Amino acid sequence: MNEIYFNIDAGYLEGIVRGYRDGLITAPQYMNLTQCETMDDLKLQLATTDYASFLQNEPSPLATSTLSARCTEALVAEFQYMQQNAAEPISKFLDYITYGYMIDNVILLITGTLHERDTHDLLEKCHPLGFFDTMPALCVATTVQDLYSTVLVDSPLAGYFRECLSAEDLNELNIEIIRNTLYKAYLEDFYSYCQSLGEPTGSVMAELLRFEADRRTVNITINSFGTELSKDDRAKLYPRLGNMYPEAQTKLARVDDMDQVKSILEQYSEYKIMLAGVSMNASSSSSGGNSSGDLSLEDRFFAKEVQLNKESFEQQFHFGVFYSWLRLKEQEIRNIVWIAECISQQQKDKVNNYTAIY
């Protein structure tokens, strides 16, 4: 254990996040949720979980969108409590976790500006974990050039913009390229920072971030099929890390279809097992994964992510549990929303198509 980086404050917060982990919905609770016939029944069942206080004042019938928003509020409240009680270096680690949400928020604002939408309305759609102090100031931007200048100067993402992009890059045709370019820079920076923290945080986070890099590499490959993105430009979007870096990335940059993607993934033992019986299509069969039946590639990635994040809790005295808890909590919210959608749309035959956690 690296005593420099793991102090009393970190130990206190690790105890809190492990307590949060123990509050995740269990298999018997999921069974009760899937047996609900109405949204009011679902609300009653969720009253036995950590979401109770966030739902108690909601009128009936409970809308799925409201349920999603309140569950997200619970997640944000718990994460922000840890941020408020964190000191260096764990506070910086928690800040790094939020940068991914900031990227999505900034991309949303760029897209809205390109389409001349009211950025004040867009702010309401931004993820709370991706807010930064000067974000409301972005609303004064009337052009993408103004927005770029504001982001470059005032946001925690300034370094990524400076390194990767110019104002001329900000146009509608490039929007997903911009997102992936920023996320590539972010992942590489986060990985480097985690390694600087020493063990065991370095090794735990290396495994988690290598998986995330592999997943993004595969998704970039699949989403580029049938587009004008050249194979050389595709390769430039891959994060320079991961189990598939660099050899498999070089191969993925040249493929033309899903079968070739699967053939490359099956050269890696961890992904060969994951892909057994997978349906090779680009979209998921459900919003939160699938517990049975014909699984898509995205479903399997969700399940693999859950497995890796559960395993990070098996080690002690490291920062990876904060990252893993957040990812598991997000999967839990996807599960709840999926079950709620099936109930509200009377699609109970699909209600079990979620990725169980515990």
In a domain, 282, yes or no: no
CA distances from 309 to 263, 268, 302, 303, 313 (A): 26, 20, 11, 10, 7
Domain check: are 184 and 234 in the same one?
A: no
In a domain, 242, yes or no: yes
Domain check: are 235 and 255 in the same one?
A: yes
Q: 236 burial class (0-12, 13-18, 19+ CB within 10 angstroms)?
A: middle
Domain check: are 100 and 189 in the same one?
A: yes
Q: Which CATH number belongs to the domain containing residue 356 in this structure?
A: 1.10.132.50
Those residues with Cβ within 8 angstroms of residue 235's Cβ, 6 or more apart along the chain or in another chain: 249, 250, 253
Structural domains in the chain (count): 3
Structure-token pair, residue 335: 């599960």
Series of mean pLDDT values for 10-residue runs along the chain (358 residues): 55 90 95 96 95 92 94 96 92 97 90 78 90 79 74 82 75 81 96 96 97 97 92 96 96 94 90 75 46 68 95 94 97 97 95 92
Among 196, 219, 253, residue at a domain's last position: 196
Domain check: are 235 and 138 in the same one?
A: no
Give the pLDDT of residue 167: 67
Domain check: are 187 and 210 in the same one?
A: no
In a domain, 227, yes or no: yes
In a domain, 278, yes or no: no
In a domain, 284, yes or no: no
Backbone angles phi, psi at 267, to 5 degrees: -80, -5
Domain check: are 33 and 128 in the same one?
A: no
Domain check: are 226 and 160 in the same one?
A: no
Give the pLDDT of residue 47: 94
Query: d(Cα 305, Cα 289) in Å, to the nearest integer?
Result: 11
In a domain, 61, yes or no: yes
**Domain range enclosing 160:** 90-196
pTM of the model: 0.91
Among 196, 214, 249, residue at a domain's last position: 196
Those residues with Cβ within 8 angstroms of residue 99's Cβ, 6 or more apart along the chain or in another chain: 156, 157, 186, 190
Domain check: are 112 and 62 in the same one?
A: no
Domain check: are 187 and 214 in the same one?
A: no
In a domain, 276, yes or no: no
In a domain, 334, yes or no: yes
Give the pLDDT of residue 245: 96
Among 173, 196, 219, residue at a domain's last position: 196
Domain check: are 39 and 108 in the same one?
A: no
Give the pLDDT of residue 281: 57
Return the ∠ at Cα 243 (arms to 218 and 163), rounded to 5°.
70
Domain check: are 20 and 76 in the same one?
A: yes
